[in-house]
């Protein structure tokens, strides 16, 4: 099987829209596309964390940048009309599980109606060829099965975040079948595992929480140490999204849902991830305790990635240890004063050299 990689020749001068470009994954994707000489526009809210990758890496300087709530139907449609993208990566979302318990309506409106607004804005646009819609590995009805979830498994969600993303999958599928396929637009949804990498300072995420605690001299409290997740470096799913867009440009019949994650046997407990991270970072204390909040979180979640491997020739390049070590080296160097964009570009170059 021929292995697929992001193709610089393909992305040269392509007109690309990224929603959520001010976020963690959106920032990395913007830098990678700029490296491949694409013409990039971004639509998102202003960065929500301080510090944030958008400002530290100067993401605004690599693209046309527009701050707009994707729930603002009229302004969003006007911006997309102005940008005239050929390829869309939709990453804008309320992306935190625990925040979804605190603000369920905001989560539902952003992730469901925001996604519908993006798709509606693409209707009857002759320039658009490919839409890559990012959801999550948490879209599946989680029955704590030891078997990894496949793209054909039932969708659902206990927490508002998971439910909102499962609902957005149904909307994506509906727009694909009812409108965009006949229009000649190839539409795919991407369900990626737990993503780590330098430049994420979101609240209630394992590595960002660790970095905050260890840089401040605090003890990191871990609430669910035995929970198992499909951890991966941010460049893994982004490479998958890029390869998928390339294939859909040529073969629209490959439209549909795709999982992106590590090999199922590479899934790991929170405890193992944080212990590798602690060793790689070289400092910081950890304590394990059960959460005092009675919020449901799945214990076991792994993904089957055979479809991406067979249809796209795409497979992960980093081991779990390499993903964690690369992540912690980024934070350590950035804390010591190395420029964030330089660190991102070095990591992208290293990842590309793994070919």
CATH of the domain at 195: 3.40.50.720
Per-residue model confidence (pLDDT) at position 193: 84
pTM for this model (two decimals): 0.96
Average predicted confidence (pLDDT) for the chain: 95
Q: pLDDT-derived band of residue 302, with 50, 70 and 90 as boundaries?
A: very high
Angle at which helix 206-216 crosses helix 320-335, to 10 degrees, equals 40
Does residue 95 form part of some domain?
Answer: yes
Q: How far apart are the C-alpha atoms of 323 and 197, rounded to whole Å? A: 8
Least confident of 3-7, 53-57, 237-241: 3-7
Q: pLDDT-derived band of residue 294, with 50, 70 and 90 as boundaries?
A: low
Per-residue model confidence (pLDDT) at position 2: 56
Does residue 134 form part of some domain?
Answer: yes
Does residue 1 form part of some domain?
Answer: no
Q: How many domains does the chain have?
A: 1
Q: How far apart are the C-alpha atoms of 313 and 340, rounded to whole Å? A: 31
Q: pLDDT-derived band of residue 299, with 50, 70 and 90 as boundaries?
A: confident
- pLDDT, mean of residues 331-346: 98
- Residue 196, strand partner residues: 233
DSSP designation for 43: E
Return the closest-CA partner of residue 212 out of 335, 330, 98, 342.
Answer: 335
Does residue 281 form part of some domain?
Answer: yes
Q: Cβ(88)–Cβ(26) under 8 Å? A: no
Least confident of 6-10, 184-188, 290-294: 290-294
Q: Cβ(107)–Cβ(100) under 8 Å? A: yes
Q: Is it true that the peptide bond before 103 is cis, omega within 30 degrees of 0?
A: no
Q: How far apart are the C-alpha atoms of 21 and 60, rounded to whole Å? A: 9
Structural domain boundaries enclosing 315: 8-291+300-353
Q: Which two tokens stand for residue 281?
A: 């970072």
Phi/psi at 171 (nearest 5 deg)? Answer: -70, -45
Q: pLDDT-derived band of residue 145, with 50, 70 and 90 as boundaries?
A: confident
Q: pLDDT-derived band of residue 4, with 50, 70 and 90 as boundaries?
A: confident
Does residue 311 form part of some domain?
Answer: yes
Q: Which helix (H) or strand (E) holds 130?
A: strand 130-134
Q: Which helix (H) or strand (E) holds 219?
A: strand 219-222
Q: Which two tokens stand for residue 5?
A: 């990689």
Does residue 3 form part of some domain?
Answer: no
Q: pLDDT-derived band of residue 173, with 50, 70 and 90 as boundaries?
A: very high
pLDDT for 117 beyond 90: yes
Return the closest-CA partner of residue 83 out of 131, 25, 45, 39.
Answer: 39
* Residue 334: strand, helix, or coil: helix
Distance of CA 330 to CAs 26, 198, 318, 323, Å? Answer: 17, 5, 15, 11
């Amino acid at each position: 099987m021929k292995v697929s990689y992001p193709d610089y020749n393909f992305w040269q001068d392509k007109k690309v829209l990224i929603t959520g470009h001010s976020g963690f994954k959106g920032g990395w994707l913007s830098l990678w596309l700029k490296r491949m000489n694409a013409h990039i526009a971004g639509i998102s809210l202003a960065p929500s964390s301080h510090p944030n990758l958008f400002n530290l890496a100067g993401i605004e300087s690599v693209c046309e940048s527009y701050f707009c709530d994707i729930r603002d139907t009229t302004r969003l449609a006007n911006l997309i009309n102005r940008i005239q993208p050929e390829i869309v990566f939709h990453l804008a979302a309320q992306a935190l599980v625990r925040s979804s318990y605190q603000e369920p309506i905001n989560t539902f409106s952003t992730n469901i109606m925001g996604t519908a607004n993006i798709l509606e804005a693409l209707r009857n646009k002759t320039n658009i060829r490919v839409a890559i819609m990012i959801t999550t590995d948490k879209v599946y009805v989680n029955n704590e099965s030891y078997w990894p979830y496949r793209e054909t498994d039932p969708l659902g969600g206990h927490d508002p975040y998971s439910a909102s993303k499962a609902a957005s999958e149904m909307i994506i599928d509906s727009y694909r079948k009812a409108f965009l396929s006949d229009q000649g637009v190839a539409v795919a949804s991407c369900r990626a595992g737990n993503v780590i990498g330098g430049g994420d300072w979101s609240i209630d995420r394992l590595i960002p929480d660790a970095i905050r605690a260890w840089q401040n001299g605090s003890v990191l409290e871990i609430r669910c140490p035995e929970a198992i997740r499909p951890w991966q470096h941010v460049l893994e799913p982004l490479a998958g999204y890029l390869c998928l867009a390339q294939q859909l440009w040529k073969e629209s019949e490959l439209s549909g849902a795709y999982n992106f994650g590590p090999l199922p046997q590479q899934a790991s407990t929170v405890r193992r991830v944080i212990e590798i991270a602690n060793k790689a970072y070289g400092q910081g204390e950890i304590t394990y305790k059960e959460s005092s909040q009675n919020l449901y979180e799945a214990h076991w979640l792994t993904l089957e990635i055979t479809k991406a491997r067979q249809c796209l020739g795409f497979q992960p390049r980093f081991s779990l240890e390499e993903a964690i070590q690369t992540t912690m080296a980024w934070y350590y160097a950035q804390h010591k004063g190395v420029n964030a964009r330089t660190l991102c570009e070095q990591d992208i170059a290293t990842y590309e050299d793994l070919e």
